[in-house]
Structures are given as structure tokens and as C-alpha cells.
Structure 1
Amino acid sequence: MPHDFDADVIAAVLRHMNDDHTDDNLLIARAFAAPSADEVEGSVMTGFDGEAGVWEITRGGTTAELRVPWPGGAITERAQVRREIVALYDAACARLGVEPRPHA
């Protein structure tokens, strides 16, 4: 059973991702949505647990859930969430041939 994070942790991460990293959400969705990732028009992070991040993606006017496992495996700590989202971003850039920006 995946680890469940506290509601305040989830809310803070989602607010940050959806306010400050909208382009990253779309990049991750385009890299990991199958079969027609290039048709993804929109992506909003809607949740996460210890196993994966979850995005609501829009494709052709239809929404669907996209669940992407954390690259490093299961997590249980808040600090690990950032590490895994950054790893997803880097993996998405590699898949799509996009130069990743430096991480602060």
C-alpha cells in the first residue's frame, strides 16, 4: 500500500506545481502519456502518494488521469517529493529531446 501524505503537504506541492510549474506539468504529461502524448493539450497535477504523481490531462477536449510512478521508487518523506518530481522532469526532457533547465 502506498504511503499517503498529509493533506497540507499535498496542497502545498500542488499549489506550487500548478502555480509555478505549469510548463513542467505539460512536459511531464507529454512525455509519459500514451499512446498519443503529442496530443496532450493541458496538464494539472492533482495529487500524489508514495508510489506516483497524478495529473489530469486534456487531449482532444477529453480529460483523463495520468499516474506516473516515481523514478526512484516508493517515497515516504516530503523532501523526497521534490526530488522525484525533478527526476520526472529530467526524464521527460530526455524522452522529448528537450534541454532541461538547471535546478536550484
Structure 2
Amino acid sequence: MPSEFDDAVRTAVLRHMNNDHRDDNVLIARAFGPFGDVIDATMTTFDGDGGQWHVITADGAEEVIRVPWPGGSISERPEVRREIVALYDAACARLGVEPRPH
């Protein structure tokens, strides 16, 4: 069973991702989901095994994707940031996008 994070941690991470990194959410969804035409993505939850995004495609379809953490299962709050950054970097590499510095 994957590790769960408390509500305060989950709320803070989701607020940060959805307010400050909306473009990163879209890159991650495009790179790791089955829908290449994602125009919007919102991170909705995460646990020790990965993150989940609600995506909207160019034709207006709404889907949910789940992406495992690149480094494997995690259980500590600092590991969440590390894995999201790793997802972003991997998404940029997969899509041929120059990543911004961290």
C-alpha cells in the first residue's frame, strides 16, 4: 500500500503546483499521459507511488491520468518535491523542451 501524506502537505503541494506551475502540469500530462493534445492539467492528488492529474484535451475531453514517481515509492515530504522536479525534467526531455533552472 502506498504511503499517504497528511492533508496539510497535500493541500500545500497541490496549491503550489496548480497556482505556480500550471505549465509544468501540462508538460507532465502531455509527456506521460496517453493524450498528446492536453491544453490544461490540474494536479488533483498524490501518494507515495505517484501523482494524479485532471486533464483537458484540445477537443474538450476531460480525463484523469496517474503518473508514477520516477525514483520509485516515497514516504517523506521532501521527496515529493524531488519527484515532481524529476517528472518535470523527464517531461521536458521527452518533449524536447528546454527546462528552466530549478
Residue equivalent to 1:75:
74
Residue equivalent to 1:31:
31
Offset at residue 63 of structure 1 (A) = 1.0
Which of 35, 43, 54 is the aligned partner of 2:41? 43
Q: In 1, Cα distance between the equivalents of 2:60 and 2:13?
A: 26
Q: In 2, Cα distance between the equivalents of 1:71 and 1:49?
A: 13
After TM superposition, the score normalised by the length of structure 1 is 0.94
Q: In 1, Cα distance between the equivalents of 2:45 and 2:7?
A: 10
List 4+ stretches of structure 1 deviating above 6 A: none
Offset at residue 41 of structure 1 (A) = 1.3
- Following superposition of structure 1 onto structure 2, how do residues 87-98 of structure 1 map, counting pairs within 5 Å? 87-98=86-97
Kindly provide the CA deviation profile for residues 18-38 of structure 1, in whole angstroms up to 9, marking residues without a partner as x. Answer: 00001100111111111x41x
Q: In 1, Cα distance between the equivalents of 2:99 and 2:38?
A: 20
| Aligned CA-pair RMSD | 0.7
Q: Where do 5+ consecutive residues of structure 2 fail to align?
A: none
| Matched length | 101
After TM superposition, the score normalised by the length of structure 2 is 0.96
Amino acid paired to 1:32: F
Q: Where do 5+ consecutive residues of structure 1 fail to align?
A: none
Q: In 1, Cα distance between the equivalents of 2:33 and 2:72?
A: 19
Q: In 2, Cα distance between the equivalents of 1:50 and 1:94?
A: 24
Kindly provide the CA deviation profile for residues 68-96 of structure 1, in whole angstroms up to 9, marking residues without a partner as x. Answer: 00000000000000000000000000000
Q: In 2, Cα distance between the equivalents of 1:68 and 1:88?
A: 9
